[in-house]
Chains A and B, each alone.
Chain A
Amino acid sequence: MRNPIKAALACAGLALATPAFADGHLSLDGKTIGVAVVGTQHFWDREAFNGATSTVEMLGGTVVPVDGGRDNQVHADNHDILLNSGVDAVISILGDGAVEPKFEALKNAGIPVFTVDHPSPHAVNNTTSDNYYMGTTIGRYMADAIGGEGKVAVFNAFENALRICGIRAGLWKYVLQDYPGIEIIQPELAEEFANAPEDARKKTLDLLSQYPEGTLDAIHVGCWDQPAIGVVQALEEAGRTDVIVTALDGGPDTLEIMAEDGSPFVANVAQQPNLIGSTSATNVARHFAGETLLPQTYVDVLPVNGQAEAKAAYAELGYGSLD
């Protein structure tokens, strides 16, 4: 699986170095691009934001950045500010249903909207990871890790609120249909959007007291992995070694946890948020160059199964070395 990823990275690198850029074929010269991000506390959000803003600037554009502070309403409101300040296009990173009317207003004002991880009928293009692949892969890895049977608790607050989470959690469940021995504990757990690790830590401690040793096999986080940091903390605090953890995103913080000896965090699918943000900015330039974009641009992901692969992924994604 790794070689295609390497190839994709190399292609992306080549694309950035091609004469298309050098001869000014793609350019945002004289354009002002609003970049709205839901928050900058989390690695994923921040990297997607950095990727988008640095690429806009590299292409000669000016950035008007706005940060929602991981509050979906503030994030949505920020689009009004971009509309009013007369930007030429908007890149919007994440966000829940509250942003839809704002996208519509921008579109009606003739300002094209490019989304990251948020498919919308009002957007020209959505750049995202291959969420379908992420959801099924983590389902297979988790099922394998518990031997194809057992009880699983899932943090899944956003399956109905965010489409990307609907895909990831929905396909995870789809895979589990073929494992009749795996039972998803009801009701599902609901993690908070902000302060996710601490919130998940408390909820996991409650869960562990409800399900003593031998009655719980895995805890999965349905859409991302910041809560998994708190889940691992809680398992360590409670001295539980019978429960494995799986989640999605694979930033340096969670890959480091996976790379520890005896880590309960056994599987993940790593994304490339910086490349996603950067690709979205390139798409803006393509749009202004008159190219027709597909509604979705998919950026490759890197499945991570176990400690050794976590260390390898950490190095491969350019986060440094864990050896």
Chain B
Amino acid sequence: MRAEARLSAWLSDLVGYLPLAILIGVLAYISLNAPNFLTLRNLELVLMQSLPVVLVCAGLAVVVMAGGDDVVSGGIDLSIPATAVLSAGITAQMLTLGYPLALCAVAALVACLVVGVINAALVSRIGMTPLLTTLAMFVAVVGVNNVVTASRRINVDHPWILALREAEIGGMPLGIVLVVMIVGTLFVAAHQTRWGLNLQAAGGSRDAAEISGINPGRLVGQSFVVAAVTGFVCGFFVLARGSGSSPGVQDNLMLEMVLATFLGAAFSPRRVVTLWGAVLGAVLVAAISIGFKSMGVNVFWTGLIKGSLIVVVVAFSAMAQRGR
């Protein structure tokens, strides 16, 4: 009997490692078939292309940590990508009108904070469902951005913004260094501070947190404001990546943010959304999609292949959790 239990635990552990194993297998297959995939240059390309997604994923991870990781009833913030394009739109429009970058950034930050505070108020004061609230906010904020930019592409060539894409610090691209610092700061805040521990306690069990004197509503509200700030920062990386603001960027960003964050949960030992899991998820999704493209996979099939891969990984993760 005991041997059987051990075998089943061993099997469940094995299933638990499958998501990671599958992704590593796919990456190994790609590196054998795509020229120049296993090069430093390509690693840099993967990291650079994933930066905007990494930033919004980090924001989403904080919201999920505070609200719990039930996709429907727990913490989620779908409005972050909209906040990011609003930040990009306001900055691009004001730069075109001749305002200094610092003033543009302040205006964009204020707008993003307003979005975060409204989310916080609607969810933690009025008690609306985060999923619906932030989906509605996504639509509303994209609408505001369409007004700000008149739904038009705006070119940006400010040297400081282009530096996020082109400048290097000690041989490392500046953009990567900055994002590592931002994610590192969020990690320390979420794991090493009292605020962070309370945040995780609130997300783990709302009732238990309340009994121990924590105010979960307030923490959930704060998490939305943090998420809005990551959206604000992401806006500048969106501008740098595209040399300006192009309409429609938010849709793909939202899809990749949700996929990468919840894919990231498959890598955590407890199958929960974590900051590092979300970041790793974002980088892996970028690596796989770049890999398929470098391999010359038929463009009409890449969506199906990527989608199926994610379903398989998440399914194994769910099986491993049930096995526990």
Contacts and interface: CB of A to CB of B under 8 A. Distances in A.
A62 B146 CA distance: 41
A160 interface: yes
Contacts of A70: 248
A40 interface: yes
Nearest to B298: A65
Contacts of A67: 299, 302
Interface stretch (A13-21, A81-89, A134-142, A234-242): A81-89
Interface residues of A, number: 39
B230 to A, nearest CB: 18
Contact of B243 (A37, A69, A86, A101): A101
A157 interface: yes
A194 B251 contact: yes
Given A65-B299, A67-B299, A157-B151, A80 B242 contact: no
A71 B243 contact: no
Interface string B34-72: 111001011001001100000000000000000000000
Most chain B Cβ neighbours within 10 Å, of A62, A64, A85, A191: A85
B248 A193 contact: yes
Most chain A Cβ neighbours within 10 Å, of B39, B244, B248, B303: B248
A78 B45 CA distance: 10
Nearest to B150: A190
Contact of A65 (B35, B246, B296): B296
B299 A66 contact: yes
A63 B298 CA distance: 10
A40 B35 CA distance: 25
B270 interface: no
Contacts of B296: 62-65
Nearest to B42: A84
A158 interface: yes
A157 B246 contact: no
Nearest to A39: B299
Contacts of A66: 293, 299
A100 interface: yes
Contact of B247 (A76, A100, A192): A192
Nearest to A188: B150
Contacts of B151: 157, 190-192
A78 B293 contact: yes
Nearest to A78: B293
Interface in B137-161: 146, 150-153, 155
Nearest to A46: B300
A312 interface: no
B212 interface: no
Interface string B227-246: 00000000000100111101
A322 interface: no
Given A97-B243, A192-B247, A81 B252 contact: no
Contacts of A185: none
A11 to B, nearest CB: 31
Contacts of B122: none
A85 B36 contact: yes
B249 to A, nearest CB: 5
Contact of A69 (B42, B153, B252, B290): B252
Contacts of A161: 152-153, 155
Nearest to B156: A97
B40 to A, nearest CB: 11
B248 A81 contact: no
A193 B247 contact: yes
B251 A73 contact: no
A187 B147 CA distance: 12
A292 B34 CA distance: 32
A2 B155 CA distance: 40
Given A71-B251, A85-B35, A158 B242 contact: no
Contact of A76 (B35, B146, B242, B248): B242
A74 interface: yes
Contacts of B299: 37, 40, 49, 65-67
Nearest to A72: B246
Among all A-B residue pairs, the 8 with the closest Cβ atoms: A190-B151, A161-B153, A67-B299, A98-B242, A72-B246, A85-B294, A73-B242, A64-B296
Interface of A: 37, 40, 49, 62-67, 69-74, 76-78, 80-81, 84-86, 96-98, 100-101, 157-158, 160-162, 187, 190-194
Given A76-B241, A97-B155, 15 more contacts: A65-B299, A67-B302, A69-B303, A72-B248, A73-B241, A73-B252, A76-B243, A80-B45, A84-B294, A98-B246, A157-B152, A160-B153, A161-B153, A190-B146, A194-B251
16 contacts: A62-B296, A64-B293, A70-B248, A71-B249, A71-B252, A72-B246, A76-B243, A81-B45, A81-B293, A98-B241, A98-B243, A98-B246, A158-B153, A161-B155, A191-B151, A192-B248
